[in-house]
């Protein structure tokens, strides 16, 4: 009788660990936001895209966002190892080698752009390629380590999925997806700066010129309130142009009041607890608004 193959336990356990490492390179929490906002753009767009093609397109958009995250982690592996918040990421922890991360990110980037171009259209594919280049090159290499406006300018990459989703259906870009882009764009600074206030020492140690590091927490809190005011105003634009009806408008109003209250409280009574509360609520806020957009369209038409 043949002997059973002698499998090395360490080799067997290495495989799922490696897969998990590559998955974490793609920043799954960010991908979930990309999928949701990209789906919203696809769902709200006038026109028809076959459900299977729409599903493939969303996967391609998510994969492209994840690929840019992998490239970002490859380039930032030196500072990720210094910061407590990021020291457990796949490259600093040794789960994935830097060259593997780069090869993975570039390969998935190319595949995702090609798939989206074929499943939807070349405009959507081109926008996805621009998003990957913007985040992986312009933000990661040119902005993050050199300007306190890194999050503001770099936020454009994370705000593009609704436009890409809309373009996948219509082969055009209209005012509606641009408004959704602006909503995410102005949401990004308050969201990240609230966390940066708490993680200020981390950014100082890594020599990343985040706004609190360069201008201090007081100015950062003031900027958070300013951007929050702009964001809440933008959140009403879908109602102003007749893109949605009462359901979304009421949701945006209530959610916006809570956001501004938390931002004002952080400005007047600063504390890490209030900063983290605003950071966590900002995630709920964005998901709530995009869910309201979907529900308003589905229920009220």
Task: Please answer whether residues 139 and 154 qualify as being in contact, where contact means their C-beta atoms are separated by less than 8 angstroms.
Answer: yes
* The pLDDT of residue 157: 94
CB–CB of 100/114 below 8 Å?
no
Task: Return per-residue pLDDT of the chain as tens, 301 residues.
Answer: 455 555 454 444 445 668 899 999 999 988 999 999 999 999 999 988 899 999 999 999 999 999 999 999 999 999 999 999 899 999 999 999 999 999 999 999 999 999 999 999 999 999 999 999 999 999 999 999 999 999 999 999 999 999 999 999 999 999 999 999 999 999 999 999 999 999 999 999 999 999 999 999 999 999 999 999 999 999 999 999 999 999 999 999 999 999 999 999 999 999 999 999 999 999 999 999 999 999 999 998 7
d(CA 121, CA 131): 16
The per-residue b/e assignment along 243-252, b for 16 or more CB within 10 angstroms, e otherwise, is bbeebbbebb
Q: Are 144 and 150 contacting, i.e. CB atoms less than 8 angstroms apart?
A: yes
Q: Which two tokens stand for residue 61?
A: 């958009």
> Which residue shows structure tokens 């059973």?
4
CA–CA gap between residue 151 and residue 186 (Å, rounded): 10
Of the candidates 79, 93, 284, the one whose C-alpha atom is nearest the C-alpha of residue 199 is 79
- Whole-Å CA distances, 290 to 126, 181, 250, 258: 24, 12, 13, 16
Whole-number Å distance between alpha carbons of 109 and 230: 33
Residues 128, 60 contacting (CB under 8 angstroms)? yes
Sorted by where each starts, the structural domains of the chain and their CATH numbers stand as 1-173 (1.10.357.140), 175-301 (1.20.120)
Single out the residue of 103, 162, 155, 152 nearest to residue 127, CA to CA: 162
Q: Which residues contact 221 (CB under 8 A, 6 or more apart)?
A: 197, 266, 267, 270
């Amino acid at each position: 009788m043949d002997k059973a193959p002698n499998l090395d336990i360490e080799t067997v356990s290495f495989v799922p660990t490696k897969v998990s490492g590559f998955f974490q390179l793609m920043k799954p929490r960010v991908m979930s936001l990309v999928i949701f906002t990209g789906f919203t753009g696809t769902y709200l767009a006038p026109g028809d895209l076959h459900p299977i093609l729409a599903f493939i397109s969303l996967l391609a958009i998510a994969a492209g966002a994840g690929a840019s995250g992998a490239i970002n982690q490859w380039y930032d592996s030196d500072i990720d190892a210094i910061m407590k918040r990021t020291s457990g990421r796949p490259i600093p922890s040794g789960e994935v080698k830097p060259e593997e991360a780069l090869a993975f990110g570039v390969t998935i980037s190319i595949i995702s752009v090609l798939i989206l171009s074929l499943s939807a259209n070349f405009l959507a594919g081109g926008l996805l390629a621009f998003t990957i280049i913007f985040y992986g090159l312009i933000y990661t290499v040119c902005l993050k380590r050199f300007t306190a406006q890194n999050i503001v300018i770099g936020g454009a990459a994370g705000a593009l999925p609704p436009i890409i989703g809309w373009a996948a259906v219509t082969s055009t870009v209209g005012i509606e997806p641009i408004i959704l882009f602006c909503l995410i764009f102005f949401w990004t600074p308050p969201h990240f700066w609230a966390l940066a206030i708490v993680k200020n020492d981390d950014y100082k140690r890594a020599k990343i010129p985040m706004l609190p590091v360069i201008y201090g927490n007081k100015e950062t809190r003031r900027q958070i309130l300013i951007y929050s005011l702009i964001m809440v105003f933008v959140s009403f634009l879908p109602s102003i142009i007749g893109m949605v009806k009462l359901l979304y408008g009421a949701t945006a109003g209530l959610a916006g009041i809570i956001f501004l209250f938390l931002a004002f409280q952080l400005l007047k009574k600063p504390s890490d607890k209030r900063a983290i509360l605003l950071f966590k609520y900002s995630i709920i806020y964005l998901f709530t608004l995009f869910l309201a957009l979907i529900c308003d369209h589905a229920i009220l038409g």
